[in-house]
Structure 1
Amino acid sequence: MGDNDQVSHWNAPVAGTPVHAVVPVPGSKSLTNRALVLAALADAPARVSGTLRSRDTDLMIGALTALGTRIEGPSGPLAPGDTELVVTPGRLHGADVECGLAGTVMRFVPPVAALATGTSTFDGDPAARVRPQATVLDALRALGADVTGDSLPFSVSGAGSVRGGRVEMDASASSQFVSGLLLSAARFDDGLELVHVGRSGVPSGPHIEMTLAMLRESGVSVEHPTASSWRVAPGPISAVDRVVEPDLSNATPFLAAAAVTGGTVRVPRWPVSTTQPGDAIRGILRDMGASVTLETADGADHGTLVVVGPERLSPVDLDLSAIGELTPTVAALCALATGPSRLTGIAHLRGHETDRLAALAAELTAVGCGVTELDDGLEITPAPLHGAPWRAYADHRMATAGAIVGLVVPGVEVDDIDSTAKTMPGFTTMWAEMLAGRMT
């Protein structure tokens, strides 16, 4: 299944001079899809503004709509370009749910379907069928849901309620297993007591913090008594009108463009305080020698992030366990640094859209970089780089990593640049306008 089968080859443009641009970034995928789930389960209609409209978020809209939620634009039926959405909860019923490659859909929506009446079937792109899924499905079974299957395709047969209660699971493969249960847990009869029992911790902790913060904004009583446990009390989910922040992880390739070309990139509306993991790019770029400044007016809750690239990038030794989604961008930067870098804490990336560790090792090696794949990361040793085909593996962040390398290495050809539509439609236009200095 899937509607993203078209593959487009793209010759990554070289930046002949330092990049100087202002780059507005669309809304956060992570915030958008959490906001949509909470609004679908709320006790009244809510408005979500500044939403990202991409393949992943449109799949979430499609899934919730199929299950009985009404999602409209500001003045009526939803149009493709609408970023202000009015979400009206409805009586949930069984449906066919298309997941594409969206981890948030395949892991956040099954608990919603368990609250519906009737059977819901889930499927997605071929690559999604090998992504870890059994953890959340086994947890739903333990909480009283009727689930058939352990990976895509699978089905959830709902009777209008879920018992809930205590469940143990190993969420070391993805924080989405935790967030997926937490988002719906207030609607379970007995709420939820969730305990992580894996030998390693849950990765991408900031994403769970994002979920907890949004639940509390929605009036849900949620506790995080230990590093590996969470409690959600049963009760209503209040309707909350939300404004979605820019997607900070999607901003990172543009900021990397300043870093690798010695230029300046400015991203407006950067939040002063945020739960988004992408905010960590500020410290990483500083560690690599860039100048990073958040320009804000007194008392403002957001400002303009300004990154000025150094003459040469410094190598780094980083534990990326909490911010694994930044790995492709950081790995591309490391390939262009002055010495070897080490990125660790990211074994869980083997279960993302592709095995990102193997993919990064293969593609950086193909352009001449020295790469050693570790048990939980990568050692990257820069060398003179050359042009070569760059495989994206239908993975949006692999595609943008190729674009970063291509800024300074002629002849990098990304085989599937359209995969960026997963979270950032129009990426190639934004990239070209950045290089031309036309973005405002």
Structure 2
Amino acid sequence: MSAMVEVWQAPFSRTPVDAVVALPGSKSLTARALVLAALADGPSRLVRPLRARDTDLMAAGLRALGVQVAEDGADWLVTPGELRGPADVDAGLAGTVLRFLPPVAALATGPVRLDGDPRLRDRPNAGLIAGLRAAGVAVDDDGRGRAPFTVHGTGSVRGGAVTVDASESSQVVSGLLLAAARFDEGLDLALTGGVPSMPHVEMTVRTLTEHGGTVTTTDRGWRVAPGPITALDRVLEPDLSNAAPFLAAALVTGGRVTVRDWPADTTQPGAQLDRLLAAMGAGVERTADGLQVTGGDRIAPLDADLGDVGELTPVLAALCALADGPSRLTGIAHLRGHETDRLQALDEVLTAVGATVQQLPDGLVVTPGPGRPARLDSYADHRMVHAAALLGLAIEGVEVSDPGAVSKTLPDFRERWAGLLGAPAGVAR
């Protein structure tokens, strides 16, 4: 007998929302901070890190390699140790674990095997595996270029000149750069083509520099000098990508939402929400509390290249399905290799609620239609739950199967969503 699948009745709103929202720490920054703290020259404290499935798996993977990651209230205390195998790392469905921990495992002594959820085995990783081999690391993947695979660490990595194909994920670049200062020759990393989500690479370079790393931009990539990684206590910014559905709710309901503590200077791609939501007709203002978004009497269509902000696509596509004209979202072919094939999933979800969707080689054209109730799959993807919740605000009768997928980055999303609306958390069964 198959297991019962939870179904969530997404709340519908007849009135404008008016709320101030506080969000936990950035997943992307928490992942980078954990890795750098694990490789540093002393103990570090991470203040208000994100505690969710992806970051808990990252912490557990580091513990398996010999790093102490201890809880101190809401903080994490990270104490580096001798990296060692044999070890097994469960990456779940986390691209950050899949691509950030193998270079760390290469610095360990002994074999480290990495695997995860069934869908993880579909996520492309040939670029990282080839990059590790070019740096002198033995990796056994049976020629798949995907999980499961085993990194055979010898306690050191040669590094030096490495050329990679990172066209499927910027995490290939970030994973190699984060550990590069600990390689014997550092790393002279060159790209064979473009890289999506460049703000995430810029985030990696900035955090590594803040930990004392010497990073130089070259005409083909980046050079990291060998040397120590300085221990650093770090306060984590709120996760701006997780802010997307909350701020977008202001447009859907014609209301007002403020996300607290919006950073004045950040490398998070979610910082571009102010520009993108303004393009869709929102009023956007920095206040003493944070970033305030106000909706009006319409949602304008969007024509945008989202290559640098792909993780915002599900929420923006949901807004496009509620706009007053057709939208065109491009630059996001790499989303086919995320937690699910997000372009196909968005096609199915938006079509189910009445929109017309055309898939492009690198994006979507979304034409709104009369909204209709539907039961939507989460595709085990947290961002697809966010999109469905947003659709449910405007279309009565939207249900979401397996809403627990939000545990990946925001486990209490449904409770926070209900708080936004001043409503019960919705019916789950």
Task: Report the TM range for the smaller structure's normalisation.
Answer: over 0.9
Match of 1:187 in 2: 182
Q: Identify if the C-alpha distance between structure 1 residues 156 and 282 changes in structure 2 by more than 3 Å, giving closer, same or farther.
A: same
Superposed CA deviations along residues 356-375 of structure 1, whole A, max 9, x for unmatched, are: 01110111011110110001
8 Å contact from structure 1 (residues 278, 323) kept in 2:
yes
Correspondent of 2:80 among 89, 92, 95: 89
Match of 2:377 in 1: 391
Match of 1:202 in 2: 195
8 Å contact from structure 1 (residues 367, 386) kept in 2:
yes
User: Whole-Å Cα distance in 2 between the matches of residues 105 and 7 of structure 1?
Assistant: 27
Note the C-alpha offset of 1:142: 1.2
Note the C-alpha offset of 1:31: 0.2
Superposed CA deviations along residues 189-208 of structure 1, whole A, max 9, x for unmatched, are: 0100111102xx20001000
Stretches of structure 1 that go unaligned for 5 or more consecutive residues are 75-81, 297-302
Match of 2:146 in 1: 151
Note the C-alpha offset of 1:8: 2.1
Equivalent residue letter for 2:159? G
Note the C-alpha offset of 1:389: 1.1
Match of 2:419 in 1: 433
Match of 1:300 in 2: none
Q: Identify if the C-alpha distance between structure 1 residues 249 and 38 changes in structure 2 by more than 3 Å, giving closer, same or farther.
A: same
Match of 2:17 in 1: 19
Match of 1:79 in 2: none
Note the C-alpha offset of 1:170: 1.0
8 Å contact from structure 1 (residues 52, 83) kept in 2:
no
Equivalent residue letter for 2:306? L
TM-score by length of 2: 0.96
8 Å contact from structure 1 (residues 7, 418) kept in 2:
no
Equivalent residue letter for 1:305? L
Correspondent of 2:112 among 107, 120, 126: 120
Match of 2:253 in 1: 261
User: Whole-Å Cα distance in 1 between the matches of residues 400 and 388 of structure 2?
Assistant: 6
Match of 2:404 in 1: 418
Equivalent residue letter for 2:170? S
User: Whole-Å Cα distance in 1 between the matches of residues 346 and 234 of structure 2?
Assistant: 36
Note the C-alpha offset of 1:73: 2.0
User: Whole-Å Cα distance in 1 between the matches of residues 5 and 330 of structure 2?
Assistant: 31
The yes-or-no answer on 1:173 pairing with 2:168 is yes
8 Å contact from structure 1 (residues 21, 438) kept in 2:
no
Three-state SS of the structure 2 residue aligned to 1:250 is coil
User: Whole-Å Cα distance in 2 between the matches of residues 113 and 169 of structure 1?
Assistant: 19
Total equivalences in the alignment: 419
Equivalent residue letter for 2:29? L
Three-state SS of the structure 1 residue aligned to 2:243 is helix
Note the C-alpha offset of 1:385: 1.0
User: Whole-Å Cα distance in 1 between the matches of residues 332 and 206 of structure 2?
Assistant: 25
Superposed CA deviations along residues 413-440 of structure 1, whole A, max 9, x for unmatched, are: 111110001000111101111110799x
Note the C-alpha offset of 1:20: 1.0
Three-state SS of the structure 1 residue aligned to 2:394 is coil
TM-score by length of 1: 0.94
Equivalent residue letter for 2:33? A
Match of 1:138 in 2: 130
- List aligned pairs for 1:193-232, cutoff 5 A: 193-198=188-193, 201-226=194-219, 228-232=220-224
Note the C-alpha offset of 1:248: 0.2
User: Whole-Å Cα distance in 2 between the matches of residues 138 and 171 of structure 1?
Assistant: 10
Match of 1:354 in 2: 340
Q: Identify if the C-alpha distance between structure 1 residues 343 and 352 changes in structure 2 by more than 3 Å, giving closer, same or farther.
A: same
Three-state SS of the structure 1 residue aligned to 2:92 is coil
User: Whole-Å Cα distance in 1 between the matches of residues 275 and 36 of structure 2?
Assistant: 31
Note the C-alpha offset of 1:83: 2.7
The yes-or-no answer on 1:324 pairing with 2:319 is no
Stretches of structure 2 that go unaligned for 5 or more consecutive residues are none
Let me know the Cα RMSD of the aligned residues: 1.3
The yes-or-no answer on 1:251 pairing with 2:240 is no
Note the C-alpha offset of 1:295: 1.2
Three-state SS of the structure 2 residue aligned to 1:328 is helix
Three-state SS of the structure 2 residue aligned to 1:188 is coil
Three-state SS of the structure 2 residue aligned to 1:407 is helix
Equivalent residue letter for 1:62? A
Moved over 3 A (4+): none
Correspondent of 2:281 among 289, 297, 300: 289
Match of 2:329 in 1: 343
Equivalent residue letter for 2:267? T
Note the C-alpha offset of 1:53: 0.1
Equivalent residue letter for 1:224? T
Note the C-alpha offset of 1:7: 4.3
8 Å contact from structure 1 (residues 27, 52) kept in 2:
yes
Superposed CA deviations along residues 311-334 of structure 1, whole A, max 9, x for unmatched, are: 100111100001110000100001
User: Whole-Å Cα distance in 1 between the matches of residues 229 and 346 of structure 2?
Assistant: 41
User: Whole-Å Cα distance in 2 between the matches of residues 6 and 17 of structure 1?
Assistant: 34
Q: Identify if the C-alpha distance between structure 1 residues 373 and 156 changes in structure 2 by more than 3 Å, giving closer, same or farther.
A: same
Percent of pairs with identical residues:
58
The yes-or-no answer on 1:310 pairing with 2:303 is no
Match of 2:8 in 1: 10
